[in-house]
Amino acid sequence: MQDVQAAREQGLLTNRPFVRLWVAQALTQTAQNGIFFVLMVMIAEATGSTTHLSLLVFSTILPSVVFGLAAGVVVDRHSKKTILVVANLLRAALVVGYLGAGDTLALVYLVNLLFSSASQFFAPAELATIALLVPKNQLMKANGLFNMTFIASQFAGLVFPVPVLVKVFDTYWTLVGLAVAYVVATVLVSLLPRDRAPVTGEDGRGLMLGIWEELKEGWQHIRSKPIISFAMLNMTTATTLILVLSVVSAPFVKRILGIRADDAVYILAPAGIGVGLGALLTQRLHRRIPIFRLVNLGLLGFGISLIAFGSTNWIGRYLASGLPEWAVVQWLLGTVIVLALFMGLSFAFITIPAQTILQEHSPASLRGKIFATQLTLGNVASIFPILFVGGLADIFGIAQVIVFVGVFVLGIGVFVLRHYGGQMGASGTPA
């Protein structure tokens, strides 16, 4: 453990164990998003059916509902390094399973269920490991880097370069490359320092008999600490919002801006830049602004940005009466880029402090369960935007749906301010 202590005393980017975990996260997140893109291409080419695409999404989310909470118990009972290594090895092997499934969609969905199940154990182990490798005074910066990488990996897997690789090398060789990414990530996490599980499970109860009691223990800890439930509510809201943005971005640029759907990069890229800028600002602002206020500022900012985002449709119609079409499109595009930047900034203000709160205020014996609970809640909450936002946009109009979501987010911001404001001290900790 001496090498861990030495690493913790160094600067963040000279902390080799942290950098290895960070690079492994970048590889695995990019590969995971890239695999989802490849599967969408394969299924769209094979069937052209949105129903089959919904089945793909369902097979991705279902394991988080079934195994998500239990994964937290496993993470707390066993070495996090071991879980990271095994989960990556399994995912590398399952990528080969996608190749073996070929055009048999039933097998593709089965492999995807297994792949997503393995991912449920990796994510809470990874988040809990950050707190083991990084001292408290560097947690905000560490979480900022991980959030920047999270957004960048979505861009890399869904926009560039993975989609380009699919066009150049086809889906088969792209999947081979993504399997290699998991192998490299496995090597990186295998070099992490050894950790000892804070809960050994040596009382003879066995895993299945103890899961329910341990889950209740974790849930009671969440309910008993307002700052923990505050952080989880906001993390769940933010991850759902970014998914809503990804769902509506392509149809928005096509229907409202009148440009190609794959030009959604004009929304996603500025949002990613905003997250990066927010990560830098959050490290400085949290010294002057209580964490509670910073998170609430992010919620309100996201809600206002969404309302303005949806309103560009009506503003564009007004401008169209007196300006040429190219000028209206340019104005709308510029406005959308600025608003996407602010949404990314607001997302960082919500997630980075909230994730830091979970790490700082969760005992080591409960971190896995708490992060698994948050990830499960996020996945459950994401079911609605995945299944219904697109359909509601077709019925009521995409601009109207975006404005409605913005008003809903403002409502959450007001609720958080009123419900938790009296329970937080001036420093953003429980009063």
Q: Report pLDDT digits (tens) over 132-182.
A: 898 888 888 888 788 778 767 876 776 667 777 877 888 889 999 999 999
Rounded to two decimals, what is the model's pTM? 0.67
Mean pLDDT of 400-409: 86
Q: Report pLDDT digits (tens) over 71-115.
A: 777 887 788 999 999 999 999 999 999 988 877 888 999 999 999
Residue 162 in tokens: 């993975």
Dihedral, 343, 426, 144, 135 alpha carbons, nearest 10: -170
**pLDDT above 70 (res 262):** no
Residue 272 in tokens: 């990613």
Mean pLDDT of 323-328: 73
Contact by Cβ (8 Å): 85, 186:
yes
Rg of the chain taking only CA atoms, in angstroms: 22
Mean pLDDT of 58-76: 77
Mean pLDDT of 249-260: 64
User: What residue has token string 């869904």?
Assistant: 158
Class of domain 218-426: mainly alpha
What pLDDT is recorded for position 21?
A: 95
Q: What is the band of 431 on the pLDDT scale with cuts at 50, 70, 90? A: very low
Contact by Cβ (8 Å): 174, 38:
yes
**pLDDT above 50 (res 430):** no
**pLDDT above 90 (res 427):** no
- Count other C-beta atoms under 10 Å from residue 179's C-beta: 20
CATH of domain 1-197: 1.20.1250.20
What pLDDT is recorded for position 190?
A: 94
User: What residue has token string 């995912």?
Assistant: 91
**pLDDT above 50 (res 48):** yes
Alpha-carbon distance of 116 to 104, in angstroms, equals 18
Residue 431 in tokens: 């009063």
Q: What is the band of 184 on the pLDDT scale with cuts at 50, 70, 90? A: very high
Domain ranges of the chain: 1-197, 218-426
Q: What are the DSSP calls for 267-326, one per residue? A: HHHHHHHHHHHHHHHHHHHTTTS-HHHHHHHHHHHHHHHHHHHHHHHHHHHHHHTTS-HH
Pick from 29-33, 132-136, 262-266: least confident = 262-266
Q: Report pLDDT digits (tens) over 350-404.
A: 888 888 887 777 776 677 777 777 777 777 777 766 667 666 777 777 788 888 8
Alpha-carbon distance of 300 to 238, in angstroms, equals 12
Strand residues in 120-255 grouped as ranges (E):
none
Mean pLDDT of 124-129: 87
Rounded to 5 degrees, what are φ and ψ at 361? -105, 10
- Same CATH topology for 1-197 and 218-426: the answer is yes
Alpha-carbon distance of 279 to 352, in angstroms, equals 7
**pLDDT above 60 (res 428):** no
